Structure 1
Amino acid sequence: MSWKTAYRSFYYETAEEPEDISLAPERTALLMIDVQKTYLEDKDTPEETRRWRPFFERMNETVIPNCVDLMAYCRAKGVEVIHARIACHKQDGRDRSLSQKKPGFNYLLLPKNREDAQIVDELAPEGDEITVEKTTDSALTGTNLRLILRNMGITDVIVAGIFTDQCVSSTVRSLADESFGVVVAEDCCAAATMELHEAELRIINMIYCHVASREEVKGFIREGA
């Protein structure tokens, strides 16, 4: 199924197919969101680790290899690669937003210099690639990313990373509200479950972004000027 007809929600079941996407490399950025070491560690109990096993498998077998491929392709085509990660500046996390202080899964205390807060080795920044550190779900709301993109003349953003239904979705919505064109590489993203992943893609597709496969996204990128 083509990106033009996949992941249709109720709102767009009968909508016309969107126009072809053409991304100018010099005006496009690839934004990698929160693929950090903490999310690939075993959980506190064997039972909880088993519950998360499908997520670990998708990350190691699909998402990380696909992101490596997409990053390499974008770098070769002259697309700016930008990284975002969850990281607080204070050791006790006082600078975190409320959503990261609440009890439960979203409770995140990741001081910026701690090892588990770092981006996984396979997706580490290269050269002078920018990394923004955030204490919010949206990579736009909690950082100077908006200013960085505008200063570099970026108009379109390819989004990849985790979690589809949380930080990816929040960032996509923020970018769309700021009038950036947004494409989500669906096989470069993951949620805790495939059910959550696919449901969120249907929610955001065609309203806030266009959802496409990694290979389709690569095909959107024009030859450099």
Structure 2
Amino acid sequence: MSWKTRNRSFYYQGAPEPDDLAFAPSETALLVIDVQNTYLARPDRTTLDAAGQAAYDAWTPFHDRMNKIVIPRTADLLAWARRNGIECLFARIACQTKDGRDRSLSQKMPGWNNLLLPKDEHASQIVPQLAAKGDEITVTKTTDSALTGTNLRLILHNLGIKNVICAGIFTDQCVASTVRSLADESFQVVVVEDCCAAGTDALHEQELAIINMIYCHVMRADELKAMLKLS
């Protein structure tokens, strides 16, 4: 099953197959979203109590996917984009203040999304394997959407970008929110499914079906490369 028929929700079961996309490299950007040190850090399991070990084990599939699939394939996708003159941009969650008083409400609420990531700390940096090179642009946000909380829309406009390829985490949160914002601004959007992850595979797959065909086209990295016929 190809990207044209995969990841379809109830709404699009009978929809015709989309045409191949024809993206000019000069009008295309690759946006890597929130692959930051904080999300890859893990404690020593042996130091945790029973509840901590259970939580550790619940997150192990995510870490396995990130280290074995998402990060290596995103690194390869970045190399491909750079080789073909596709702009590479990065978004990260980070606050300007040490106490996080400039964060959005969603990042101040209790629970997993309560993120205190001052901009200069190690935890808030993009992982080294996917770091920006040269004058590649990184935007810093305190929102889920990389467009809502930054000047990214203006940057993309000034760069002459019409098409945005998205990778990163989390599929069902910041990736999906960014994709929706891009679609509402009339960018053509591709989500590279094997360069994304959610907390669970079920959440990842569910969100891909929700956003596919209305806000973006979802495909694997190899399908994207084959379709665009670049080096």
**1:191-224 residue CA offsets vs partner (Å, 9 max, x unmatched):** 0000000000000000000000001112233559
Paired position in structure 2 for 1:7 = 7
Deviation at 1:49, TM superposition (A): 1.3
Structure 2 alignment gaps of length 5 or more: none
Residues 84-95 of structure 1 correspond to what in structure 2 (within 5 A)? Answer: 84-95=91-102
- Structure 2 residue matching 1:206: 3-state secondary structure: coil
Deviation at 1:105, TM superposition (A): 0.9
Aligned residue type for 2:159: M
Alpha-carbon distance in structure 2 between the residues aligned to 1:62 and 1:210? 20
Paired position in structure 2 for 1:209 = 216
Detail structure 1 runs of 4+ shifted over 2 Å in the superposition.
43-47, 219-224
Paired position in structure 2 for 1:32 = 32
**1:136-190 residue CA offsets vs partner (Å, 9 max, x unmatched):** 0000000000000000100000000000000000000000000000000000000
TM-score normalised according to structure 2 size: 0.95
**Is this contact kept in 2: 1:24–1:222, CA < 8 A?**
no
Aligned residue type for 1:26: S
Alpha-carbon distance in structure 2 between the residues aligned to 1:158 and 1:215? 13
Residues 23-62 of structure 1 correspond to what in structure 2 (within 5 A)? Answer: 23-42=23-42, 45-62=52-69
Alpha-carbon distance in structure 2 between the residues aligned to 1:10 and 1:49? 34
Structure 1 stretch 200-209 or stretch 39-48: which is displaced more? 39-48
**Is this contact kept in 2: 1:90–1:111, CA < 8 A?**
yes
Alpha-carbon distance in structure 1 between the residues aligned to 2:228 and 2:80? 10
**1:76-98 residue CA offsets vs partner (Å, 9 max, x unmatched):** 00000000000000111111111
Deviation at 1:15, TM superposition (A): 0.4
**Is this contact kept in 2: 1:35–1:162, CA < 8 A?**
yes
Alpha-carbon distance in structure 1 between the residues aligned to 2:61 and 2:196? 14
Paired position in structure 2 for 1:166 = 173
CA root-mean-square deviation = 1.2
**Is this contact kept in 2: 1:29–1:80, CA < 8 A?**
yes
TM-score normalised according to structure 1 size: 0.97
